[in-house]
Structure 1
């Protein structure tokens, strides 16, 4: 059983780690501690190179990693100034394995779960279709929760892509994201969305639930433990009532 959770902040995002920690403690009865950014607390001379080794090079290429000097320098700058980073996808499982080794030895048991909110986009490889898929979280010890992944991983409403294609056809190029987001009806999360903290609560709870029960995502649409692949499903699961399916409502109050 999980007895303690350590949650790490992502200060360049609008995710409120303290609010998430309070909610998680109320739902699980677990002691939740909040620490500063994981990549800042656990950095050393090798971290930038290790992160560069997990870079996704192409959406349809399984091989990852680029440790050329310029790329490593970029990762060093991103560690120092994370607000200037972006536009890169990282292999979530490889990054998880590497960062897990940086958790203190005395805190690695499964009764002490570590969850890092990240300002990076993470993905996993799909053997079924031969391409990378962006993810909101990669659960386990340590769990990674991507704040930008909340906006980018789940697909937006069909109308969004239809409008994007229409703009491209008429003007020869895609319009700015902000223009599309303002034009499309429907509920979906956007960068710096004020609902970010509330939506992330369920993804952090998924980490605790997985370690405690060994279960994967809930198959019931609308439950905070489900894993919707489209933005309207995320809004329904994480921001609408009821918060849980009947089975998980009993467990998480």
Structure 2
């Protein structure tokens, strides 16, 4: 492997993610050094909060426009709230966020041999020129790589029947009833399965850094880019295997 060290940053608002377990998983999978650190966005540096707030998205149908953050935007960054308790989510341009994060990493730690992987509850999105709108993303690859715990829940779609039933039932009681009906078929906030799911995104971040390809088109592979929750749960929970191609690549990494 070209990577000799991974620095993994925690997200304290998602206690279901077991950082030490993820560290153990990576050490058992790759012959490299794994270091864990506290939340990347909990530095207390107001300049960093300002830069992060600058990456907020205000129009889902227009490409990113640079802007100066308001005081309320800064407050959101400082508080680092649990996204599951928010009625309205804050959206971030994934590439702009990545660029600003890169500027906060010490120069001596920024090299190809050291991969920074940042877990965050911030909902990262990228603008798609094909349909001219932003889409939620679970992974922003490269170095530093950003894994959005909120993106894992919001980006892959839930069952079609779930959405159809929601469209015809608007009361809170009905919504809760529908959620219970489909319980287990998709990830929810503070889901006990999140840590296992994150393992797959860690693998995707590492493979992308090493090979330039993060995803696989085989839905039974842990590198599969799942657009549906059912596929995400199958590849990362039920199957938890690599396809033959990526298993061979993994063996080369391990030698």
Tell me the secondary structure at the aligned position of residue 239 of structure 2.
coil
Give the distance between the partners of 1:176 and 1:204, measured in 2 at CA: 36
Structure 1 position 181, deviation (Å): 1.9
Corresponding residue of 2:13: 12
| Cα separation, 1, equivalents of 2:240 and 2:200 | 13
The TM-score with structure 1 as length reference comes to 0.89
Separation of aligned partners in 1, 2:117 and 2:144: 6
Measure, in 2, the Cα distance between the counterparts of 1:101 and 1:194.
33
Query: After the TM superposition, which residues 1-253 of structure 1 pair with which residues of structure 2 at under 5 Å, given as runs?
Result: 1-13=2-14, 14-41=16-43, 43-64=44-65, 66-75=67-76, 78-83=77-82, 86=86, 87-168=89-170, 178-184=176-182, 187-252=185-250
Shift of 1:48: 2.1
CA displacement, residues 68-100 of structure 1 (integer Å, 9 cap, x when unaligned): 53333423xx42453378511100110001001
Q: Give the Cα separation in 1 of the matches to 2:240 and 2:121.
A: 29
CA distance in 2, matches of 1:49, 1:73: 6
The root-mean-square deviation of aligned C-alpha atoms, in Å, is: 2.1
Where structure 2 has 5 or more consecutive residues not aligned to the other structure, the ranges are: none
Structure 1: which 5+ runs fail to align? none
Contact 1:116 1:144 in 2 (8 A): yes
- Is 1:164–1:175's contact at 8 Å kept on the other side of the alignment? no
Q: Is the 8 A contact 1:8 1:38 kept in 2?
A: yes
CA contact (8 A) 2:197 2:237 kept: yes
* C-alpha distance in 1 between matches for 2:240 and 2:8: 25
Instruction: Work out the CA distance in 2 between the residues paired with 1:221 and 1:239.
Output: 12
| Alpha-carbon distance in structure 2 between the residues aligned to 1:177 and 1:107 | 47
The alignment of Structure 1 onto Structure 2 pairs a total of residues equal to 246
Pairwise CA distance, 1:184: 2.2
Higher mean alpha-carbon deviation, 27-36 vs 121-130, is at 27-36
